[in-house]
């Protein structure tokens, strides 16, 4: 019997069996940030332990940094304390830190790939659920809790139960105005927010093979929203072209050796998947969330489902609650629903490709006078590239605010948040109640739809 891509990576990293399907795995790369790491370092000190392989851990400041100014003092007391603690911990334990003054600083799931720290075949962990982003490179990447962060720091290992295998084949033709964000939102709508529980999802199909690395990262980033442990895509020539000459990617002889291994990273033709889903996106329309979880999605030209159309009692209750929170009615379209803010950013959609798409839409135009719109690049590298291409001027001339990098309004841990009752077209990944501020209302969309919505001040049917 052949092996899936997940099984190949998992098996290669087994140090020893603990019991049944639970094994101790070696961890190749560990990313940390200011929010979920302080307690882990404190426990190391309490137990008089050191970081076992400090050169395998990399840190950044991203979750609660100010996007208005590069100054720790501009943040709240708690945020400032977390960042100062991260600086001390990285200094004490000899860990590389991309602080807010570092020219390579940015969101952890953006800077890892762009620095070549994310490589095929690795097991990558971070105290953040959207670590699945790195799976786009053919790595096994998943989020971990604070106690697990401590364990990885102390041992460079982690106990993990073997997961089930799911394959999602995405085929068809990519229509005009359709992006990776629309594709993954439509998949979450189909599979559901718990459909991936217990699975590692591999994405394949002719559509995946056409996508850029930025788009593949968007796909894998949101696999966690289906309840999956992670998502991954087999590396190919697009992957290798992206990684070649990145700072931490192998060089010369080591690159050739790495290629030999990376080219074995695919699911064998006789590999067994526990579940296979086939999706044709040819007729897909731009997707938008109407409710308070990423499963509550419709095409932008569709109606919000009728409550009685739900056969599942729990989903019906969630829909009723979501409609009340979002101040919407069943059966209506979202067309002409006014929005207050537009957010283009997050680890889902803040890369240069995303900014180019949005900038092309707003070039030479002005946003609606009642809309506040911000663009938050995913890293300093993305910001500099965008400015080199003149994208910052396009956004500013259109009325957008051009910010420094950070997680920003995705989770509203800094000053970038909605006021109670405000409605936002957001390129982020979660639309939970209060996610972007107390009593905030979030609509998940692609960068293209976010940009168009900013111009009109409401959702429109671009088809």
pLDDT at site 290: 98
Crossing angle of helices 146-155 and 38-46, rounded to 10°: 50
Q: Are residues 342 and 423 in the same domain?
A: yes
Q: Are residues 28 and 59 in the same domain?
A: yes
Q: Are residues 155 and 170 in the same domain?
A: no
Question: What is the spatial distance between Cα 199 and Cα 272, in angstroms, rounded to a whole number?
Answer: 13
pLDDT at site 75: 87
Q: Which residue do the tokens 């409605």 mark?
A: 423
- Asked if the model's pLDDT at residue 196 lies above 80, the reply is yes
Question: What is the spatial distance between Cα 427 and Cα 444, in angstroms, rounded to a whole number?
Answer: 6
pLDDT at site 320: 98
Residue-wise pLDDT tens digits, 264-291 = 999 999 999 999 999 999 999 999 999 9
pLDDT at site 389: 98
Q: Which of 280, 311, 336 delimits the end of a domain?
A: 280
Q: How far is CA 320 from CA 27, 197, 430, 451, in A?
A: 43, 24, 19, 29
Residue-wise pLDDT tens digits, 329-381 = 999 999 999 999 999 999 999 999 999 999 999 999 999 999 999 999 999 99
3-state secondary structure at position 225: helix
Q: Are residues 154 and 299 in the same domain?
A: no
Q: Nearest-5° angle of CA 352, CA 356, CA 361? A: 155
Question: What is the spatial distance between Cα 156 and Cα 98, in angstroms, rounded to a whole number?
Answer: 21
Structural domain that includes position 180: 164-232+268-280
Give percent of the chain with pLDDT exceeding 70: 100
Q: Are residues 325 and 422 in the same domain?
A: yes
Q: Are residues 244 and 316 in the same domain?
A: no
Q: Are residues 257 and 272 in the same domain?
A: no
Question: What is the spatial distance between Cα 179 and Cα 182, in angstroms, rounded to a whole number?
Answer: 5
pTM recorded for the entire structure: 0.97
Q: Are residues 310 and 409 in the same domain?
A: yes
**Helix, strand, coil distribution of the chain in percent, nearest 5:** 35, 20, 45
For position 240, which CATH number holds?
A: 3.30.499.10
Q: Are residues 218 and 366 in the same domain?
A: no
Q: Are residues 83 and 180 in the same domain?
A: no
Q: How far is CA 163 from CA 61, 70, 200, in A?
A: 31, 41, 6
For position 170, which CATH number holds?
A: 3.40.1060.10
Comparing 402 with 412, which gets the higher pLDDT? Answer: 402
pLDDT at site 205: 98
Q: Are residues 49 and 178 in the same domain?
A: no
Q: Are residues 71 and 134 in the same domain?
A: yes
Domain count, the chain: 3
pLDDT at site 462: 87
In contact, 207 and 172? CB cutoff 8 Å: yes
């Amino acid at each position: 019997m052949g092996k899936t891509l997940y099984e190949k990576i998992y098996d290669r990293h087994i140090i020893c069996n603990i019991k049944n399907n639970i094994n101790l795995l070696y961890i190749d790369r560990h990313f940390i940030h200011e929010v979920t790491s302080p307690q882990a370092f404190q426990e190391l000190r309490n137990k008089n332990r050191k970081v076992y392989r400090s050169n395998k851990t990399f840190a950044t400041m991203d979750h609660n940094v100010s996007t208005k100014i590069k100054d720790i003092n501009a943040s709240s007391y708690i945020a400032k304390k977390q960042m100062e603690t991260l600086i001390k911990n990285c200094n004490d334990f000899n860990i590389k830190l991309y602080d807010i003054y570092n020219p390579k600083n940015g969101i952890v799931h953006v800077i890892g790939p762009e620095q070549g720290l994310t490589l095929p075949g690795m097991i990558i962990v971070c105290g953040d659920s959207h670590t699945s982003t790195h799976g786009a490179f053919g790595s096994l990447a998943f989020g971990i809790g604070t106690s697990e962060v401590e364990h990885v720091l102390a041992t460079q290992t982690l106990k993990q139960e073997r997961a089930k295998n799911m394959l999602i084949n995405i085929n068809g033709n990519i229509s005009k105005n359709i992006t990776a964000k629309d594709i993954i939102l439509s998949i979450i709508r189909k599979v559901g927010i718990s459909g991936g529980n217990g699975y590692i999802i591999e994405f394949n199909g002719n559509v995946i093979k056409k996508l850029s690395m930025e788009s593949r990262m968007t796909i894998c980033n949101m696999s966690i929203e289906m309840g999956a442990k992670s998502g991954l895509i087999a590396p190919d020539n697009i992957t290798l072209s992206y990684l070649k000459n990145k700072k931490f990617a192998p060089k010369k002889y080591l690159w050739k050796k790495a290629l030999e291994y990376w080219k074995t990273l695919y699911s064998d033709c006789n590999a067994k998947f526990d579940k296979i889903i086939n999706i044709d996106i040819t007729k897909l329309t731009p997707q938008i969330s109407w409710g308070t979880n990423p499963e509550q999605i419709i095409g932008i030209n569709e109606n919000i489902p009728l409550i009685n159309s739900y056969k599942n009692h729990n989903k019906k209750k969630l829909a009723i609650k979501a409609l009340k929170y979002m101040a919407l009615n069943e059966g209506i379209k979202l067309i002409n629903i006014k929005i207050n803010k537009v957010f283009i950013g997050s680890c889902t959609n803040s890369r240069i490709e995303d900014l180019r798409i949005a900038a092309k839409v707003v070039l030479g135009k002005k946003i609606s006078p009642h809309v506040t719109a911000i663009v938050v690049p995913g890293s300093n590298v993305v910001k500099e590239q965008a400015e080199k291409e003149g994208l910052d001027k396009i956004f500013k001339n259109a009325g957008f605010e051009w910010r420094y990098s950070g997680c920003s309004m995705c989770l509203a841990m800094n000053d970038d948040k909605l006021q109670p009752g405000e409605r936002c077209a957001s390129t982020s990944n979660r639309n939970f109640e209060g996610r972007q501020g107390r009593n905030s209302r979030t609509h998940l969309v692609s960068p293209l739809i976010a940009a168009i919505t900013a111009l009109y001040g409401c959702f429109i049917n671009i088809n």
